[in-house]
Amino acid sequence: MARTKDVVLAPEQKELMEKEYLDFVKPSTYGNKDNPSSCNSLYDDVENPELRAIVEKVAATTPYREETSPNEAQSPPNPLKRISGKQRKATLEEYQQTFLQVPRIDDRKP
């Protein structure tokens, strides 16, 4: 592997690179870089009484949906007609002849 050439940076460039790196690595508070101590402002809308009243109205008017039991949801549908063993075997043979035949190569030499 070839070695890259060492680059000598000016002090201003080095300082700028370090600042960009530290800004990238430093955790931000959801895009609010100006005031990192304002994390609590993210939750102010939850504590807003007007919003709480709206949420309670919507919860009261929305009907509760009953969930189906897992046994009912997982049961497969009943078959309409039973298939006999002979018919199943004939269908399998027809499928194999139609789709699963391997072509035979008589002359293998080019």
pTM over 0.75, yes/no: no
pLDDT for the residue 85: 94
87 SS3 class: helix
Dist. CA 88–CA 95, nearest whole Å:
11
pLDDT for the residue 90: 96
Q: In order along the chain (110 residues), what is the average pLDDT of each group of 10 residues?
A: 71 86 70 54 63 76 63 67 92 92 79
pLDDT for the residue 33: 54
Q: Of 20, 45, 1, nearest to 9 (Cα)?
A: 20
Number of CB atoms found within 10 A of residue 32's CB: 13
